[in-house]
């Protein structure tokens, strides 16, 4: 009961803060906000000073989210990938959020390093500079390793030292519990929310946070990405310095490059920004399609350009910060490659069949009808340049189509969808004439050839034979378990019949109760409220 009351209190306080900054029922989206929500927002704003008067929605969001803490920033970033849920306008506002917070003190950073390695600072680093980047989870320093046991690996070279914020694990665990609690009630009370699978979305957030809160896992992610892309001549992944990496500390080699946030510096260095935009897109798609493992936070702040060198080395893209990574199964990659190729070739029946084959669209609908709906999306934008396409309208039409065909959005593709939007935004900022389809075509064609050509077919047959062999090998054990289950079922029936646990019966009854959907904005508010962080609210 105490936990439920605490979670409810967090949600109420979150609604209060959202109303205070006029993002609970923003004036920009008046037509889409239910009357009840408008009244609630107006009432809550009367209880406090109304901040951000006259500011744009993006500015009000940017001001409100830090008041709710780092967890709320993360849930906002996740919602930015769901224009079907929040609408294209709000998704665009959320997509520009900067995950930045004030840095913590150097004394705390040094204490964390000494606790992590059981050595004084003087034995760990020659020097540790003040942090040059601080986000909701950690901050990064430039340091120099002592020329001792690390000399062979790093010597006197500079390194990047990432240190978790003090107490961040406790904060996120509390908030994740609140998210799950809120998502559970949302699925119970709002039937239309079940298609959006909020519990699974929170699961995606929780998994990404587990990765971010153990920097050894982030180091392993960087190591895996480096291994996968070692032969790619246009991507640089920094090497992990394992002797100086622990649960709360990650040390990697220092990458010297020009941040993609600084176009004038890129121009001054003579870098071809069109070529760089192609590298960004193709590197991401290669990771996702070829390897099934991709950097899922490829915004400009995590990307650097390394100019061509005098010895003939080509232009390269360097990537840092491996706290959020995505992984796709072989089946998901085949599905993704097939629909991308279908759109590139304007073969909408192929795209539709890929959805049906993957089970994403119910077989109750004619595949030709779904193909026709996809054609209505693809044809108006095919061959156009990025500057001529409203991606917000395009995404909104796509998600409206999935709702029409009762298509469940796949949780394993959430990070991919988000990263695709971010990566295309980066490419567009580099080259206003960037064409996503033209950039993607060679990568997708190569993937289709490798995954669906003759060699791949032989490999698939071999994989199927191995799977069949494992099934046969486990057959005796499975039959034994089935026999025991049958005996138990018979015993239960003889003892008075099968009974449902009372909680289960209540859940089933609850699921059968009719309920009216309050509309898209009610879902937005309910999901946004999951991220309440009471103690960080400043009145």
DSSP 3-state of 143: strand
Residue 361: count of CB within 10 angstroms of its CB: 21
Q: What is the DSSP string of 55-86?
A: --HHHHHHHHHHHH-HHHHHHHHHHTT-HHHH
The residue written with tokens 């609140």 in the block is 178
Distance separating alpha carbons of residues 217 and 323, to the nearest angstrom? 8
Judge whether 297 counts as a catalytic residue.
Answer: yes
Helices 88-95 and 57-68 pack at an angle, to 10 degrees, of 60
| The dihedral sign for the CA sequence 70, 75, 76, 77 | positive
What distance in Å separates the CA atoms of residue 303 and residue 236, rounded to the nearest whole number? 10
Angstrom CA distances, 63 to 18, 47, 102, 163, stand at: 10, 19, 14, 25
d(CA 77, CA 22): 19
Coil, strand or helix: which one is 318? strand
Return the sign of the alpha-carbon dihedral for residues 325, 327, 333, 335.
Answer: negative
Q: What angle do CA 536, 99, 539 make, to 5 degrees?
A: 25
d(Cα 370, Cα 85) in Å, to the nearest integer? 21
- Rounded CA gap, 436 and 150, in Å? 43
Instruction: For the beta carbon of residue 408, count every other beta carbon within 10 angstroms.
Output: 15
Nearest-angstrom CA–CA distance, 524 and 112: 38
Residue 396 CB coordination number (10 Å): 17
Q: CB neighbours (10 Å) of residue 407?
A: 17
Distances (CA, A) of 204 to 20, 264, 414, 437: 29, 37, 8, 28
Distance between CA atoms of 467 and 444, rounded to whole angstroms?
28
Using an 8 Å Cβ cutoff, are 515 and 52 in contact?
no
CB 78 within 8 A of CB 205: yes
Catalytic residue among 150, 175, 214, 297: 297
Helices (H) and strands (E) in the chain, counts: 22, 11
Q: Which residues are catalytic, by number?
A: 297
């Amino acid at each position: 009961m105490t936990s439920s009351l605490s979670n409810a209190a967090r949600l109420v306080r979150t609604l209060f803060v959202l109303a205070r900054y006029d993002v609970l029922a923003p004036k920009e989206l008046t037509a889409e906000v239910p009357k009840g929500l408008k009244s609630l927002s107006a009432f809550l704003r009367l209880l406090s000073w109304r901040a951000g008067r006259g500011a744009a929605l993006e500015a009000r969001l940017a001001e409100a989210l830090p008041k709710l803490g780092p967890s709320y920033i993360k849930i906002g970033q996740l919602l930015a990938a769901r224009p079907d849920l929040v609408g294209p306008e709000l998704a665009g506002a959320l997509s520009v959020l900067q995950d930045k917070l004030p840095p913590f003190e150097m004394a705390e950073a040094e204490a964390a390093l000494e606790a992590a390695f059981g050595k004084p600072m003087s034995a760990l680093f020659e020097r540790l500079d003040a942090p040059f980047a601080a986000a909701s989870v950690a901050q990064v320093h430039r340091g120099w390793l002592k020329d001792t046991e690390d000399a062979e690996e790093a010597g006197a070279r500079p390194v990047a030292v990432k240190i978790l914020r003090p107490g961040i694990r406790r904060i996120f665990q509390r908030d994740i519990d609140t998210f799950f609690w809120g998502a559970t009630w949302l699925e119970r009370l709002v039937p239309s929310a079940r298609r959006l699978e909020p519990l699974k979305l929170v699961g995606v957030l929780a998994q990404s946070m587990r990765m971010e809160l153990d920097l050894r896992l982030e180091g392993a992610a960087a190591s895996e990405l480096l291994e996968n892309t070692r032969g790619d001549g246009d991507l640089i992944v920094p090497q992990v310095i394992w002797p100086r990496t622990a649960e709360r500390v990650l040390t990697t080699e220092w990458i010297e490059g020009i941040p993609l946030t600084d176009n004038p510096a890129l121009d001054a260095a003579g870098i071809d920004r069109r070529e760089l935009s192609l590298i960004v897109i193709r590197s991401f798609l290669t990771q996702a399609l070829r390897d099934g493992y991709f950097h899922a936070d490829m915004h400009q702040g995590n990307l650097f350009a390394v100019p061509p060198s005098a010895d003939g080395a080509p232009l390269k893209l360097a990537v840092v910060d491996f706290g959020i990574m995505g992984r796709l199964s072989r089946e998901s990659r085949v599905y993704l490659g097939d629909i991308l190729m279908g759109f590139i070739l304007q073969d909408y029946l192929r795209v539709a069949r890929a959805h049906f084959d993957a089970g994403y669209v119910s077989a109750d609908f004619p595949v030709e009808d779904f193909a026709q709906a996809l054609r209505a999306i693809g044809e108006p934008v095919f061959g156009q340049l990025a500057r001529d396409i409203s991606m917000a309208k395009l995404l909104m039409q796509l998600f409206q189509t999935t709702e029409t065909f009762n298509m469940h959005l796949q949780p394993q593709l959430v990070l991919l969808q988000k990263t695709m939007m971010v990566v295309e935004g980066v490419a567009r900022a580099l080259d206003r004439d960037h064409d996503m389809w033209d950039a993607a075509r060679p990568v997708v064609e190569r993937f289709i050839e490798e995954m669906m050509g003759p060699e791949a077919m032989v490999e698939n047959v071999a994989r199927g034979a191995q799977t069949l062999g494992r099934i046969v090998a486990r057959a005796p054990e499975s039959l034994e378990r089935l026999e025991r289950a049958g005996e138990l079922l018979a015993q239960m029936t003889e003892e008075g019949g099968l009974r449902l646990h009372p909680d289960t019966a209540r859940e089933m009854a609850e699921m059968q109760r009719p309920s009216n959907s309050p509309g898209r904005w009610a879902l937005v508010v309910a999901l946004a409220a999951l991220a309440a962080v009471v103690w960080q609210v400043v009145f």
